[in-house]
Structures are given as structure tokens and as C-alpha cells.
């Protein structure tokens, strides 16, 4: 994640979960928005601001991608509960893509060695 491997998809997934949390906040439930903001600060401080090793960053990126995907999938179940089958299927597909990309990040980063 340090070299922006799959970075565009990562940012798109985070934007999706942020939009879902904003919709929840507009309906009166602000807890998901607060959690997303805390997660945003945590994720991007680890991925970009803190002086961590490449191995730590390459481990944190896929973990955050999987967490974003699981969050989107959680919103899919709320969509199914509201009667929106198409919206639920779309959210499951996007969330599943984020989980798969996170798993791919673990596989791809296992081959890399730290530069000296």
C-alpha cells in the first residue's frame, strides 16, 4: 500500500463506506460516521504519516482494505432489510471486491523484501 498498489480501488472503497456512513448520519445515526472518521485518521496516519517499516505498512494496507469491505457488506444487509435487493447485491459485490483485494495484498506483499 505504500507504493499505492491498488490505491485507486482502496480510495474508492473508502469513499463508498464514507458515503454510506454519511447517509446513516443524515438518518439520525451518527455513530457509523464517527467510526469512519476515526478509522480514516487511523488508516492514513499508519499508511502515510507515521515512520513505520515497509513491512508494517504492507501489512496494514490489506487489513484496512478487508475492514472497509466488511463494512460495505454490513451495509448490504441493511439494504436487504429495507427491501432494496439490487442495492444489497451491488454492496455485496463492491465489499467482496475490497475483501478480495485485501487478500491479494497479503499474497502480493509476501514476495517482497525490504529495500536497504
* Structural domains of the chain, count: 1
27: helix, strand or coil: coil
Grid coordinates in use for 4? 499505492
CB atoms within 10 A of CB 7: 13
The values of phi and psi at residue 64, to 5°, are -65, -35
What does the alpha-carbon distance between residue 33 and residue 94 come to, in Å, rounded to a whole number? 19
What's the whole-model pTM score?
A: 0.80
Grid coordinates in use for 84? 432494496
Residue 44 lies in a domain: yes
pLDDT tens per residue, range 85-99: 888 899 999 999 889
Q: Which stretches of the chain drop beneath a pLDDT of 50?
A: 1-3, 116
Residue 12 lies in a domain: no
Domain range spanning residue 103? 18-109
Residue 90 lies in a domain: yes
Q: Which among 101, 40, 42 has a CA at the least distance from the CA of 70?
A: 101
Residue 54 lies in a domain: yes
Amino acid at each position: 500500500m505504500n507504493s499505492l498498489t491498488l490505491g485507486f480501488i482502496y480510495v474508492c472503497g473508502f469513499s463508498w463506506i464514507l458515503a454510506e456512513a454519511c447517509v446513516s448520519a443524515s438518518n439520525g445515526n451518527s455513530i457509523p460516521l464517527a467510526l469512519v472518521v476515526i478509522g480514516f485518521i487511523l488508516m492514513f496516519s499508519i499508511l502515510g504519516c507515521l515512520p513505520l517499516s515497509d513491512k508494517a505498512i504492507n501489512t496494514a494496507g490489506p487489513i484496512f482494505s478487508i475492514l472497509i469491505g466488511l463494512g460495505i457488506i454490513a451495509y448490504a444487509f441493511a439494504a436487504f432489510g429495507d427491501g432494496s435487493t439490487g442495492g444489497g447485491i451491488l454492496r455485496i459485490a463492491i465489499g467482496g471486491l475490497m475483501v478480495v483485494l485485501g487478500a491479494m495484498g497479503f499474497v502480493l506483499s509476501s514476495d517482497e523484501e525490504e529495500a536497504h
